[in-house]
Structure 1
Amino acid sequence: MNLKMQEAVLHLNKYDSSSKSAQDAQKLLNALKDTYDVVGFQFRHYKGGLYKVIGEVVHTETEEKLVTYEDQDGVLWARPKDMFFGRVVIDGEEIMRFTKID
């Protein structure tokens, strides 16, 4: 569990569940959970490349959530979270941009 998730859990445990802090902490946990469930896992890009998810970052100016990932040569990449987990249309068929490798 990363530091932000630990902080959110501490807030949830510290405050009444109806408090603003607890609600904010729950929102943070929900926002981070889907990305952090796949940290360290390999994904195949629809064009064939293999990548390992490193984590999630927040853009300093826009606060947009980005997924960070590493290619097989050790180069780090970042892509908007919605785009990373999104779909693309290839030859009229909608497919996942990245597919998790089990």
Structure 2
Amino acid sequence: MRYRHYKGGIYELVCEAMLEADHTPVIVYRGQDGTTWVRPRDVFFEMVAPEGGGIPVPRFAPADQA
């Protein structure tokens, strides 16, 4: 599934995994440039305030599939 970062990038969710050290659920995702990233699941789906303040938005939101 594709997600849009609140700053504008599009990322493909590769899989959900678990961090071996402490069993933290993580999201593995890939950017359009092919770079693969890992972020804690709670952080991936958290609400963040855009720069300059304003109404909190999801850090990553499902991208339009059209």
TM-score (norm 2): 0.87
Residue 60 of structure 2: aligned partner: 98
Residues 1:62 and 2:22 are matched in the alignment = yes
Matches of 2:24 and 2:62 in 1, distance apart?
Answer: 23
What SS does the corresponding residue of 1:51 show, helix, strand or coil?
A: strand
- Compute the RMSD of aligned alpha carbons: 0.9
Provide the C-alpha distance between the structure 2 equivalents of 1:94 and 1:85, rounded to a whole number of angstroms: 12
Q: Which amino acid aligns with 1:89?
A: A
Could you tell me the percent identity over the aligned residues? Answer: 37
Report whether the alignment pairs 1:50 with 2:10: yes
Greater per-residue helix proportion: 1
Give the TM-score taking structure 1 as reference length. Answer: 0.58
Residue by residue over 1:14-45, the C-alpha shift from the partner in whole angstroms, topping out at 9 and shown as x without a partner, is xxxxxxxxxxxxxxxxxxxxxxxxxxx11110
Q: Is the 8 A contact 2:14 2:30 kept in 1?
A: yes
Post-superposition offset of 1:92: 3.0
Aligned positions, number: 62
Larger Cα Rg: Structure 1 or Structure 2? 1
Q: Which of 1 and 2 has higher RCO (CA within 8 Å, sep 6+)?
A: 2
Question: Equivalent residues in 2 for 1:1-102 (5 A)?
Answer: 41-90=1-50, 91-102=53-64
In the alignment, which residue of structure 2 is the partner of 1:38?
Answer: none
**Bigger strand fraction:** 2
Contiguous gaps of at least 5 residues in structure 1: 1-40
